[in-house]
Amino acid sequence: MNFEENPVRDRLVEMFAKASGPVSGEEMSHTLGLSRTAIWKQIKSLEQVGFVFAASPRVGYRAVTIPDELMAPLVDPHLPLAVAFGRPLFWAAERASTNATALDWAAKGLPHGAVVTAAVQTGGKGRRERSWVSPQGGMWFSVLIRQPCALNQAPDLTLLASLAVRRALAEIGVPADIKWPNDILVAGKKVCGILAQMRADGEWVDHAVIGIGINANFPEERLPADIRHRATTIFSACGFAIERPRVLATILTELDKLYRLLASGEGFASVRGEWLAHCETMGRSVEVAVGNEIVRGTAIDVDDQGSLLVKLAHGDVRRLHSGEVLFSESEHLR
């Protein structure tokens, strides 16, 4: 199956991104094998997603503004050749959910390492079918992993992804902490969530889709009022916009390094020290929902398997493999 949704658009964006001056209509028609009218239609559709062009009669078009969308020709120059993720990369102005698209395409042969992105998600998903608000300006993307791993290693996929995001944000001066197991916080509020969905075959994960959502370049006022006490955006918390294609390339590069650990048999254990150093969950009161049960206590450690150790009021320690950490209200408002 051919997954390329609009190859002409990507090649056109690449031409504009690489050009030092105006690109003539003739050059575009010749290179892309399309009529001038077809090119003009592509230019109009790029304008709708934030590109601004200056047209000079007889000379051609110059891109005055190239928006920092997560498009292949804008991400690729930042991605080292040896990185296994991000090629191919499929961008769309709108998708219901990049995870849903990636899972659907995975069943139709999408290759390992492919990335699906969208400028806006209309049906973004969190865990347990919760909705994930995904306006323009965020980073909404999913990575397909086809290297089978044992089912009991599956939690590592999320833990390692959160470390990749943390490293990439730290590199551009965004101080991010990890909240076990799948959140990234800036200034104590959630700016990123990770949703890993997988198809297992017996004891093995056949393929997994790692969905990552980052509230990047939009003001937190665009998040629903009822979550703003615990969620923010990088733009609001740090006061600057980030270069999204470059940050995506860095995340994919870090993810590649970390997932090679899994393939080589080392998993979370080899980066546990780094993870703990940036995990803000330790030492705090937590309420963890595990199925229908709520476990209350103090988070004291994360073990080599990535499980959270919680000390209960009467002194016993519980090892929690999955679930979610909800900070108790008193801690949260501290």
Determine the interface stretch with ligand BT5 among 75-83, 172-180, 192-200, 245-253 (rule: CB under 6 A): 192-200
Which SS3 state, helix, strand or coil, does residue 27 take? helix
Specify the residue, 22 or 254, whose C-beta has the smaller distance to ligand BT5: 254
Q: Count the neighbouring beta carbons within 10 Å of the beta carbon of residue 251.
A: 27
CA distance 257 to 84: 9
- On the question of a cis peptide bond just before residue 181, with omega within 30 degrees of 0, the verdict is yes
Is 97 a binder of ligand BT5 (CB under 6 A)? yes
- Selected binder of ligand BT5 within 140, 259, 268, 275 (CB under 6 A): 140
Q: Are 257 and 120 in contact (CB under 8 A)?
A: no
Q: How far apart are CA 307 and CA 304, in angstroms?
A: 7
**Per the omega criterion (within 30 degrees of 0), is the bond before 88 cis?**
yes
195 binds ligand BT5 (CB under 6 A): yes
Per CB under 6 A, the list member of 42, 158, 162, 215 interacting with ligand BT5 is 215
Q: Which is nearer to ligand BT5, 145 or 223 (CB)?
A: 223
- Applying CB under 6 A, does 132 fall inside the site for ligand BT5? yes
Contact map string, positions 170 to 189, toward ligand BT5, x by CB under 6 A: ------------x-------
Tell me: does residue 50 bind ligand BT5 (CB under 6 A).
no
Nearest to 195 by CA among 134, 247, 250, 238: 134
Binding segment (CB under 6 A) for ligand BT5, from list 8-16, 223-231, 285-293, 304-312: 223-231
Please give the residue whose beta carbon sits closest to ligand BT5 in the complex: 193
Nearer to ligand BT5, 52 or 227 (CB): 227
In this structure, how many other beta carbons lie within 10 angstroms of the beta carbon of residue 116? 30
Select the residue interacting with ligand BT5 from 12, 42, 90, 142 (CB under 6 A).
142
* Residue span binding ligand BT5 (CB under 6 A) among the ranges 35-43, 127-135, 172-180, 293-301: 127-135
Query: Within 10 A of 290 (CB to CB), how many other CB atoms are there?
Result: 14
CB of 257 to ligand BT5, least distance (A): 21
DSSP conformation letters of 92-152: EEEES-HHHHHHHHHTTTPPTT-EEEEEEESS-B-GGG-B--B-TTSEEEEEEE-S-EEGG
Contact positions vs ligand BT5 (CB under 6 A)? 97-99, 121, 124-127, 130, 132-134, 140-142, 182, 190, 193-195, 211-213, 215, 223, 227, 231
